[in-house]
Structure 1
């Protein structure tokens, strides 16, 4: 069976032009301790914000089309599709391009973040169904993988964590070298930057989008804390050291931009992963999270300096984070182009 790279495809960076953004309406009540209604209002706010920059398609249950359309507004289209959960970054496809205007998709295996939930069967088909809805070629990857577990720069570099990709609850039969080989064949990457761990108590087992993100070629934004008593302090310091020692696929040293975390908040005794790297880069804009914390102001100011050519749109995100993720986790960009 062929692979995307064998057919001339690679995954572009998130700043490449988009055809649309994909999202999925919250349906799992147990994921959101403040209730589904609060989560749905937060998702709708993100969808409306992104729709100001590019088309948004919201997946939703067949019987909820009218309610979801009303909640999200005229700028957001709705598509009936069964889902078990609402984190389309993780259960949806990763899109690849061929450099000639063609687009296809990689459909990863999915097991609910290493078995966090038992009823995830519908989510195993979301990648296939999204690609079929767009008439895009599907490459079924032989990996359990979530899109939030890696970032690419579109130039051959992939950023990830050992805590997630090497976790025995994902692909216990594969070595690190074998995982790299599969990712190289499906995403067109050749340089891997492995950080160690993610946030304390992160139920995704260290998704990269909670701690670091490429913001332009050769530049990584990463979270830090100055509090040496914070359990995240040694984690973030180790990640910083690894980033400083790393080189990208072009052989460049990375420019590292740091941003401090907000104050600790908890939900039922579990720390929330309050991260500004969990943002969505839209066509001409950035939709970024706000956490009702003084650090929000610093983050918005930094984003305006990092992205001078994009409109920065802050959106309240606590009711998303309480479910276990952030704005990046609930969105997936589809690059501009036509079916290859």
Structure 2
């Protein structure tokens, strides 16, 4: 079977999420917990306008989830440690039999693609001392089975937020994630690339040196690419740019832009790069923010985008609307989600439609 991860902008069967269950995501007070639940629900409801949404929820939290969620949001009961489905869940792919010939239902015959689900090894973002992942490490298989997908096991420690694809063989990733000694000790770029080719059909990798500053600190992922760059259409990149020299990400995003300008797609063409300015807010009282408009999710006919009650919100939404032309942009205040360690893209995972359902 030959597997390919479609572009996020390709048609979806549904969007997956996971309900906030405990720990730092829910916070220390009842008000903290309410804020987290309301934020996750707001994303689910925005996405539900465009496509079905299924929320993974711990059995003991089902009644709480039902109190916040529209009944049209489906619920799947399973044990959870946390709520970052992009990272702990599977990366969905489409598969066609290799070596197909006319008449066998394979690619040469126009036969239907099969839904697969790559089950990465999840180890709490590189065995972070604050993370727990015993239950989350099993969610990939649970979601795959429920979706009716063929499980594609992988020995690579990886998270969905650590890769961005164009659906045509290009993958964006960061050296600080896949080559992290806490994830894949001793791994080489060639080894990572070979596994990504086997599992998601990536034949060309663009390696970024690192991710954003806050995301590289103790409670971060050590550099997820989905805070830095997104691919709204083949050959086009949206890139997070910090224009303020006060913020350490000013230098970081300058380095990333330099790498991306020198890179090419899998087809050998240079990117059209669209810079997306970081929010004007630089600090949240705890450190340099990693607020990013890049951490959005495409849905059928729409886009669910982050806002931050920030002077740059309006400009960023205009850039996104232009890049995702023809899609309606729904904005959700993502400050509560970012205060827990991620954004809208981090708490969602798209399941592509197979050709029969597209």
Q: TM-score, normalised by structure 2?
A: 0.90
How far apart, CA to CA, are the structure 2 residues paired with 1:193 and 1:89? Answer: 20
Residues 272 and 322 in structure 1, CA contact (< 8 A), matched pair in contact too: no
User: 1:98 is paired with a residue of what secondary structure?
Assistant: strand
Structure 2 residue 145 is the aligned partner of structure 1 residue 148: no
Structure 2 residue 80 is the aligned partner of structure 1 residue 86: no
Structure 2 residue 114 is the aligned partner of structure 1 residue 120: no
Residues 39 and 319 in structure 1, CA contact (< 8 A), matched pair in contact too: yes
Gaps of 5+ in 1: 1-6
How far apart, CA to CA, are the structure 1 residues paired with 2:223 and 2:350? Answer: 21
Cα distance per residue 1:25-75 (max 9 Å; x no partner): 001232354722101100000000000000000011112223312311022
Residue in structure 2 matched with residue 319 of structure 1 by the alignment: 336
Q: How many residues align?
A: 333
How far apart, CA to CA, are the structure 1 residues paired with 2:257 and 2:175? Answer: 15
Residues 69 and 76 in structure 1, CA contact (< 8 A), matched pair in contact too: no
RMSD: 1.6
Residue in structure 1 matched with residue 105 of structure 2 by the alignment: none
How far apart, CA to CA, are the structure 1 residues paired with 2:25 and 2:53? Answer: 23
Q: Please, which moves more after superposition, 127-136 or 10-19?
A: 127-136
How far apart, CA to CA, are the structure 1 residues paired with 2:86 and 2:269? Answer: 28
Q: Residue 10 of structure 1: which of 4, 11, 23 is its match?
A: 4
Residues 212 and 249 in structure 2, CA contact (< 8 A), matched pair in contact too: yes
How far did residue 313 of structure 1 move?
Answer: 0.5
Residues 247 and 288 in structure 2, CA contact (< 8 A), matched pair in contact too: no
How far did residue 162 of structure 1 move?
Answer: 1.1
Q: Please, which moves more after superposition, 273-282 or 172-181?
A: 172-181
How far apart, CA to CA, are the structure 1 residues paired with 2:309 and 2:282? Answer: 11
Q: How does 1:223-242 map to 2 (within 5 A)?
A: 223-242=240-259
Q: How does 1:298-313 map to 2 (within 5 A)?
A: 298-313=315-330
Q: Residue 115 of structure 2: which of 86, 103, 114 is its match?
A: 103
How far apart, CA to CA, are the structure 2 residues paired with 1:222 and 1:119? Answer: 31
Gaps of 5+ in 2: 97-111
How far apart, CA to CA, are the structure 2 residues paired with 1:57 and 1:208? Answer: 25
Q: TM-score, normalised by structure 1?
A: 0.94
Structure 2 residue 61 is the aligned partner of structure 1 residue 49: no
